[in-house]
């Protein structure tokens, strides 16, 4: 089909939740490159919004999908599943968690974390402890509960009344957090590095103070690492940057190397609050998803791609800062590893994104003045140099 035929079909039959999408349809991917219906090549600096950590069509992921699909795609969680058990072991042995539950998405993993935190206190005899505090500008998902946890009015406004007993405080303000805690608080839930609001890393001292405060008040600390986990920030898990460990954390996006899967990860005794019948999923943790995720995560660990993320991220940030020195309308370059934002003093982000697309580079925009880069962890200096050259040509138009 031609691009115009695909667009016409989409506009007639697909629910219009995405508006007018970018005018391109991809038919093939390999590594950091994508090809559209016309055969044009693009460099993917968005990685499916931090999903394709190994790039496109990585042999380990493709082979895992093919081999498992030929044997067994789905059975159900009534039965033991080898790849599910092995993936849970791989995550637990490489992180601070003791047990894992698999879902189909980041939103589902976060729903599970919310349920687990509330259930833990209920089973301890404190059913009144159900409030959860999140941070302003957060993003935790699009289900009703995770929307309530998402402290951005633009996502919430059309879905009230929201799930009750969520409140938010500013990031990096420990006093505001402490004042918000009451006898009803069961958990603090945060992204150590916020993604959807424009790549906002929390201060190291703040995260350490949050951990100390939760310990002192007897509150569960939940980290949402759906976007910032799995090597994205230069460590396998973002919490490693801060010298603290969460009680519960969630994963998705990069975990499956492109295949949908989410994970709810918890330490004991919190993990054991879930007992038979308390939680479940029809598709979550199926053989195909877990085999694929095992292959993706094993590759990231064995090939030390977290370190490549740190090295290439530092290089990309340094090249972007060179542009900042040249163009006064660049306000800030920020991020960790390969989770990076470029903020402008003026509303040109969407235009820059579209001009980058024309030049064959995929980036994202947040609002009108931030562009976001989330390239695959396999990126090279040569890829970055090509992108910086193209971005420099674009920015010259505004100078």
- Per the CB < 8 A criterion, the answer to whether 302 and 236 are in contact is no
Query: 48: how many CB neighbours lie within 10 A of its CB?
Result: 17
Cis peptide before 269 (omega within 30 of 0): yes
| Whole-number Å distance between alpha carbons of 218 and 18 | 42
Cβ neighbourhood burial of 207 (10 Å; 0-12, 13-18, 19+):
buried
Residues 6+ apart with CB under 8 A from 213: 174, 177, 178, 181, 188, 219
| Whole-number Å distance between alpha carbons of 116 and 182 | 19
Tokens encoding 328: 């006064």
Which element (helix H / strand E) includes 371?
strand 370-373
| Interaxial angle between packed helices 305-326 and 287-302, expressed in degrees from 0 to 180 and rounded to the nearest 10 | 70
Cα dihedral: 190, 192, 193, 196 (round 10): -10
Instruction: Name the H helices within 249-348.
Output: 287-302, 305-326
Tokens encoding 14: 């697909």
253: left (phi over 0), alpha (psi -120 to 50) or beta: left
List active site positions. Answer: 139, 224, 253
């Amino acid at each position: 089909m031609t691009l115009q035929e695909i667009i016409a079909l989409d506009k007639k039959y697909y629910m219009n939740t995405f508006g007018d999408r970018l005018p391109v349809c991809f038919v093939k991917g390999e590594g950091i490159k994508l090809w559209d219906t016309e055969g044009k090549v693009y460099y993917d600096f968005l990685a499916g919004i931090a999903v394709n950590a190994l790039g496109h069509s990585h042999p380990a992921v493709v082979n895992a999908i093919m081999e498992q699909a030929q044997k067994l795609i789905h059975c159900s969680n009534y039965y033991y599943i080898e790849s599910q058990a092995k993936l849970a072991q791989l995550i637990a042995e490489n992180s601070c968690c003791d047990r894992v539950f698999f879902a189909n998405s980041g939103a589902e993993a976060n729903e599970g974390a919310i349920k687990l935190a509330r259930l833990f206190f209920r089973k301890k005899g404190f059913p009144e402890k159900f409030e959860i505090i999140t941070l302003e500008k957060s993003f935790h998902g699009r289900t009703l509960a995770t929307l309530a946890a998402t402290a951005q009015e633009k996502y919430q406004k059309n879905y009230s009344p929201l799930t009750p007993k969520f409140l938010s405080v500013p990031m990096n303000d420990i006093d505001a957090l402490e004042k918000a805690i009451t006898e009803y608080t069961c958990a603090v839930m945060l992204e150590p590095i916020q993604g959807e609001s424009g790549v906002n890393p929390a201060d190291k001292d703040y995260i350490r103070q949050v951990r100390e405060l939760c310990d002192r008040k007897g509150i569960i600390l939940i980290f949402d690492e759906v976007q910032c986990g799995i090597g994205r920030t230069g460590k396998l898990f973002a919490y490693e940057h801060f010298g603290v460990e969460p009680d519960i954390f969630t994963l998705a996006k990069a975990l499956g190397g492109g295949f949908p899967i989410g994970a709810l990860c918890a330490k004991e005794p919190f993990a054991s609050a879930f007992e038979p019948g308390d939680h479940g999923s029809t598709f979550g943790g199926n053989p195909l998803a877990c085999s694929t995720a095992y292959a993706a995560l094993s590759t990231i660990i064995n090939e030390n791609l977290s370190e490549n993320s740190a090295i290439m991220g530092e290089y990309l940030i340094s090249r972007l800062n060179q542009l900042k020195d040249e163009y006064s309308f660049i306000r800030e370059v920020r991020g960790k590893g390969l989770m990076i934002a470029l903020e402008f003093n003026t509303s040109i982000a969407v235009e820059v994104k579209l001009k980058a697309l024309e030049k064959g580079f995929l980036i994202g925009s947040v609002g009108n003045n931030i562009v976001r880069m989330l390239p695959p962890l396999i990126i090279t200096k040569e890829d970055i140099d090509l992108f910086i050259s193209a971005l420099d040509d674009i920015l010259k138009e505004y100078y």
